[in-house]
A and B are shown apart, each in its own frame.
Chain A
Amino acid sequence: MEHSLLVNACVYLAAAVIAVPLSKRLGMGAVLGYLLAGILIGPAGFGLIGQAEDALHFAEFGVVLLLFLIGLELEPTRLWALRRPIFGWGGAQVALVTAVLFGAALLAGIGWKLALIAGLGLSLSSTAIALASLEERNLMPTPAGQASFSILLFQDIAAIPMIAIVPLLGIPESAGGGGNAWIALVKVIVVLAGLVIGGRFLVRPLLRFIAKTDAREIFTAFALLLVIAISLLMQSVGVSMALGAFMAGVLLADSEYRHALETDLEPFKGLLLGLFFIAVGMSVDFAVFLARPGIVLGLVAGFLVLKTGVLYALSRLFGMARGQHLQFALILSQGGEFAFVVFGAAATAHVFSDEVASILVVVVALSMVVTPLMLMAWDRLSARRQGAKRPDRADEIEPNEDHVIIAGFGRFGQIVGRFLNVSGVKLTVLDHDPDQVDVLRRFGFKVFYGDATRADLMRAAGAAKARALVVAIDDIEDSLALVEAVRRDYPALTIFARARNVTHYYQLMDRGVHLIERETFEAAVKLGRSVLTAGLGQSAYRTRQTADKFRKYNLQNILAVYPYYKDRDTYVSMAKRGRDELETMIARDRKAVDEETGQDWD
């Protein structure tokens, strides 16, 4: 009892607080920082924390929360639409990687049982590391991100039968026969049905009730309770906790409390995932490693080369953009959390010895450490390849001068960009979707691929010599982050921003942006004009005048409410007052128009 819970927490938090910012500063990303922190405080490092397994076990809940939150983003219909990538690509990935690893192991003279279990276990990737890496690079919406996500989801499903099969390969007496499997299946179905019905008729009313009590911490507590309870329930019928949480998330995806759940659980997810990475770092058993360094390193290298190779080959079949194949392969190359479980189960069932299991666990843990390193190298390499077009590396400002930078070239940025382009404006486009980047490059645009919020990308894009910056990013948080970074680093650069909604508009104003357009407003007014003229036969010019007045008063209203928006209660009532005012004003306009005499125009 030399280490109390608080002392442990103190060590974990201190390690994270020191290692992660340092690692990010060095351009290595948060995941690697956590892993290194884990190695440092673990038995192999300063030995500040004794047992890695306990922490790992506890921290796996971070992965559970991660999947619950992902589930919240995916409505059942969207999930259904993903069924082909999930089962097709996911199935192909697991089957092929297992087959190749199995074959390689057989060739190396390893027994078939061991080869099979190792192949199965190692075919699974780390959801935590892969998704965190994708999010760190804003790759989730890209084809590679979607494919990775689908495959990871399939792996979570595939892990269930794997964990069930492994004991069957061991000492036969524990094999239960077909009857048990049927009962297990029925159990799963019953629990799932209970979840669907309970989710709709029990959880939602309960959420509503708790939200009404206005006790915020109780809502948070309930959110955690919900995820933990569902996970335990699913685990009790043999479904992985992560998969169970994912399904629970999907079931609540169309609930009105989705956003509240998201914001409440987000910090827990982040911290627990961090703890998970720390625990993985701690679990790298250097004693096993030092006992047979050659074998371990050989296994890690061989495993990574084979798995990356298979993934790379598959990525070409999945129709991904050029230049993303290798990145995709690297993101999924490591062994995953489930490998620990599979190998643990195999060791318990005496399919192979504890020693073999611990070697395999070290291989997986090391592969997890290697992934962020490889991705970092890939980032550097691709940045260099983009920079190679510059005649002189030192001349960082060369890319464009007197140009306009457009950050985000989706539906909105595209229109702005094409419009500026026909007006003869020099453009630099930043986007993180490589499909777009390819097309644009073909048309001779200056395109930088990557996350616009990264300072080095803005510098490489020539922000210092830009005439203007158009922030057209989809994601509100990214948009605000970019605006903050540019305000700080390039205060003289004028920012023109797309606002997704009124709150975003205010948040941009908070950050000193004044040239803002609401993304849907003009189009909606335009369509309203069409309804009045083409639909109802009203005078086109008069309709235009009404639209102009409408726009003017609408904007006045928005600005009038601005000082109050942060205080939510006032905001609501002010917004309502604003609406009333608008009504009054519009009514006044109409009256004014109607009351005008015929004297002035005859």
Chain B
Amino acid sequence: MTAPTILILYAHPAPQRSPVNRRLAEAARAVSGVAVQDLYELYPDFNIDAEHERSLLGAAHLVVFLHPIRWYGMPSILKEWMDVVLRPGWAYGGGPDGGTHALRGKGFWLVTSTGSGLDAFQPGGLHGHPFDAFLLPIRQVARLCGMDWLAPLVMHGSADASEAAIDAHVHEFTRRLTGYADAVLLPEAVHGA
């Protein structure tokens, strides 16, 4: 397979200090049909080449956001990427002619990690809400763009994760990614969207 059908938008501001995401990005690069856009590496000054990014998106069947969660959201460059790349009229309609809906029908997969364990994500816990509640904005992004929301792959408690747990996580990621790449796995039903 030559033309990448899976586009991974990888955002980690300090990969040298990343125990999980860096390994996921490395693993993804080894899968055929996968292109990894390392946003902090490509655009250290945040001057994102929106035109180029849109052309990559247009060619992909599955879009993956690979990043750690910080302050209940994505790293800043990924938000910048969304702001300049997902232009109204291109990504989701709008404008006089209703727009192109360039992303409609593509899959959207969130692969992320949190430092805290899952127990912190509950009423009364450190973060006060279940983890899913924090995914509401990004899930709505996928919905607005008419993309198919795939079940996110999340690693909680990565700060204290053992080497074995990380290995298993990377393995699971690679397995699903390869599956998607081979178009074996069908997109899951849209979760409650």
Residues in B whose Cβ lies below 8 Å from that of A598: 17-19, 159
Is A322 engaged at the interface, CB distance under 8 Å to the other chain?
no
Determine whether the beta carbon of A539 is less than 8 Å from that of B15.
Answer: yes
CB < 8 Å neighbour of B159 from A533, A543, A599: A599
Q: Considering the chains assembled together, what is the distance between the CA atoms of A434 and B45 in angstroms?
A: 39
- B146 at the A/B interface (Cβ < 8 Å)? no
Q: Given A539-B40, A544-B45, are A602 and B14 also a contact pair (CB < 8 Å)?
A: no
Point out the residue from A533, A544, A602 that lies within 8 Å of B18, measured CB to CB.
Answer: A602
At the interface, yes or no: A201 with Cβ under 8 Å from chain B? no
Min CB distance, B131 to chain A, in Å?
Answer: 14
The CA of A597 and the CA of B18, in the complex, are separated in Å by: 10
Minimum distance in angstroms from B23 CB to a CB of chain A = 11
Encode A582-602 as 1/0 by CB contact (under 8 A) with B. 000000000000001111111
Give bound CA distance, A542 to B158, whole Å.
22
Measured CB to CB, the nearest residue on chain A to B38 is: A540
Chain B residues with Cβ below 8 Å from A529 are 44
Shortest distance from the beta carbon of B59 to any chain A beta carbon, whole Å: 24
Expressed in whole angstroms, the minimum distance between the Cβ of A600 and any Cβ of chain B is: 7
Kindly identify, within residues 521 to 545 of chain A, every residue whose CB is under 8 Å from any CB belonging to chain B. Answer: 529, 533, 539-544
Beta-carbon contact of B115 and A599 below 8 Å: yes
Within 8 Å CB of A597, what residues of B? 17
Known: A541-B13, A596-B17, A597-B17. Contact between A602 and B158, CB under 8 A? Answer: yes
Residues in B neighbouring A533, C-beta threshold 8 A: 44
Q: Tell me the complex Cα distance, A319–B45, Å.
A: 45
What are the residues of chain A within 8 A of B15 when measuring CB–CB? 539
Chain B proximity mask over A404-417: 1 for CB below 8 Å, otherwise 0: 00000000000000
Chain B, interface residues (CB within 8 Å), range: 20 to 34
Given contacts A539-B40, A540-B44, contact A602 B13 (CB under 8 A): no
- Indicate whether B68 reaches chain A with its CB closer than 8 angstroms: yes
Instruction: Give complex CA distance A597, B159 in Å.
Output: 10
Give B112's nearest chain A residue, CB to CB.
A602
Least distance between A38 CB and chain B CB atoms (Å): 63
Q: Is the CB of B114 within 8 A of A602?
A: yes
* Distance A601 CA – B17 CA, assembled complex (angstroms): 7
Q: How many angstroms between the C-alpha atoms of A596 and B13 in the bound complex?
A: 13
Q: Which of A529, A539, A596, A599 has the most CB of B within 10 A?
A: A539
Which residues of B are interface residues toward A (Cβ below 8 A)? 12-21, 40-42, 44-45, 68, 70, 113-115, 155, 158-159
* 23 A-B pairs (CB sep. < 8 Å): A529-B44, A539-B15, A539-B16, A540-B41, A540-B42, A541-B14, A541-B41, A541-B44, A542-B14, A543-B44, A544-B44, A544-B45, A596-B17, A600-B70, A600-B115, A601-B12, A601-B13, A601-B18, A602-B20, A602-B114, A602-B155, A602-B158, A602-B159
Query: What 10 additional pairs, Cβ within 8 angstroms, besides A602-B20, A602-B114, A602-B155?
Result: A529-B44, A539-B15, A540-B40, A541-B44, A544-B44, A544-B45, A601-B68, A601-B70, A602-B19, A602-B115
